[in-house]
Amino acid sequence: MKLHWRIWVLIAVLVACALFIFPPGLLFQNGVTIQGIEKNSTEYIQGLRNGMIITSINSIAINNVEDYNNALPKIFLNNSETTKITMAADGNNFVFFAQDGFNFMVTDIQKTRLKTGLDLSGGARALVKAANKTLSESEVNDLIAITNQRSNGYGIKDITIKPVKDLSGNNYMLIEVAGATTSDMQDLVLSQGKFEGKIGNITIFSGGKDISHVERSGQQSGIEACYANENGGEYCRFRFPISLTEEAAKRQAAVTGNLTISLENPEYLSEKLDLYLDDNLMDSLFISKDLKGQVATQILIQGSGSGKDRSEAIADAQKEMSKLQTILITGSLPYKLEIVKLDTISPTLGREFTKNLIILAAVVFVLISVVLFIRYRKIKITSSVILTMFSEAFITLGIAALINWNLDAPSIAGIIAGMGTGVNDQIVIIDESVSNVQASLKERIKNAFFIIIGAFFTIIASMLPLFWAGAGMLKGFALTTILSVSVGILITRPAFAEIIRKIIKD
């Protein structure tokens, strides 16, 4: 049977979506996924990263989290002893020593690339703005960087922080955390960030008041050099100057005046400058011996980043540098934050909702099939409508997975409502095709497409404002509706018209 190219396009897109939603590699893959790996831990230095899949540890096969949990007591028989670990992850073997467990968490491998939103998977979400102040876009970006830092300090994993904007031009920070509680979120957002530079126990400067300038770019800012790491991989050093107020510089001079030259590193003083964020040590910087007792208002901040190769080390160093610069500029925020919306959704209820959504989709399919069969009394026509409807929903899900969209309840509502309009358009095509008039079949289908395109543009026009209104909280509804009708008009309906043409000719 010769198929029209439009039908081939539909088949190709369906196959591509199926492969994308259910990647064969993941479908049959056993193991556990690494999450929340601690930076600068032995595992990280050895090259293990978030998202890597562990398949065995010390020759014990790891197929899922249960296997992993059962394997740990066997591997770490004696808590106090250091154990040699050979870990197979992503096709490579990583050998290192560990004591009493690993510096990361693991989860079961997700078999699909579909991601569910907070209201279906559970977790906490906060929409945050500055109290009595309108934040600019760059201020929101700085706020996001600092909140990211603080969330690490609080030990919160699996956090997503992004900027959102509404129709009135207000900028917000949206934080979503899987498995967090209301109080975790309030602690993270509402307690003011505190940044301090200390030598020993003495505070030399505090973020927000003692630092007058941070040089983010320019000749003196950037990566200095890269070196090979003793444990494998590479590390790169960065530096950038900051200006301290006179008062802070004097404090530094007084403290450094009492320090001696380090015996191990004769280029530096005996103590380091420790940078603290919310009382958590973020970094320790060497102090050059030339600064001893000097009232220096401009000091050079140095640090490093590491990676398994040069490019990863450079990227890490740049990230670290930017992190430090942000902390130094906005370490203590010059404004108070306000949580304007705070939701915590129970994962139990979310699972119940997801199950019911699947049942709902099935019920909708069955009911529409029955109505269409009663009307047309032809299995071929009814099944082609159902097939098209299914294709539209499936391709929409495929695109959602491709763009990494979190499917929340409004997004699913958009897909189901989109299915409704899809069926309407197919009814128009069927009606034009079977109408008993003189015009050619091609002409009649062209007529049908005028109506379909008209309906398509009215849906797009009506849903567009939702992208911006209400801080984009209902964006999912607009996105999936628009995706669904667009998939319909570009891929499924042209193919459906060909299928109907063929059924009628036969």
Alpha-carbon torsion (76, 79, 84, 88), positive or negative: positive
When the beta carbons of 183 and 192 are compared against another protein, the nearer one is: 183
CB of 458 to another protein, least distance (A): 4
User: Least separation, in Å, of the C-beta of 192 and another protein?
Assistant: 19
Helices (H) and strands (E) in the chain, counts: 15, 20
CA atoms within 13 A on the CB side of 265: 11
Among residues 295 and 469, whose Cβ is nearest to another protein? 469
Q: Which of 19/427 has CB closer to another protein?
A: 427
| Contact assessment for residue 189 and residue 126, using Cβ atoms and an 8 Å cutoff | yes
Work out the number of other CB atoms within 10 angstroms of the CB of residue 497: 27
d(C-alpha 330, C-alpha 133), whole Å: 16
Asked if 466 and 481 count as a contact pair (C-beta separation under 8 A), the reply is no
- Shortest CB 10 distance to another protein, Å: 21
Which C-beta is closer to another protein: that of 112 or that of 182?
A: 182
Question: Please, what is the minimum distance in Å from the beta carbon of residue 115 to another protein?
Answer: 17
Q: In angstroms, rounded to a whole number, what is the distance separating the alpha carbons of residues 83 and 251?
A: 46
Cα–Cα distance, 421 to 342 (Å, whole number): 34
Closest distance to another protein from the beta carbon of 345 (Å)? 4
Which CB atom, from 69 or from 435, has the smaller least distance to another protein? 435
Q: Are strands 171-177 and 123-130 parallel, antiparallel or unpaired?
A: antiparallel
212 closest CA partner among 241, 192, 239, 255: 241
CA distances from 236 to 56, 156, 286 (A): 32, 27, 15
In the complex, the smallest distance separating the C-beta of residue 180 from another protein, rounded to whole angstroms, is 8
Shortest CB 326 distance to another protein, Å: 26
- Minimum distance from residue 417 beta carbon to another protein (Å): 6
Q: Which of 31, 92, 21, 93 is nearest to 58 (CA)?
A: 93
- Nearer residue to another protein within complex by CB, 245 or 447: 447
Quick one: 119 or 234, whose CB is closer to another protein? 119
Residue (of 116, 123, 52, 48) closest to 85 by Cα position: 48
Q: Which is nearer to another protein, 117 or 197 (CB)?
A: 117
Residue 440's alpha-carbon distances to 501, 505, 506, in angstroms, are: 11, 12, 16
- Using the minimum distance from each CB to another protein, give the nearer residue, 15 or 453: 453
Residue 222: what are its φ and ψ, rounded to 5°?
A: 145, -170
Task: Indicate the residue type of 317.
Answer: A
Structure tokens given for 504: 């009628």
> How near is the Cβ of 105 to another protein at its closest, in Å?
17
> Quick one: 15 or 464, whose CB is closer to another protein?
464
Closest CA to 413 of 356, 467, 454, 372: 356
Minimal distance, residue 428 CB to another protein, in Å: 6
- Those residues whose C-beta lies under 8 Å from the C-beta of residue 159, and which sit 6 or more positions away, are 148, 151, 175, 176, 177, 180
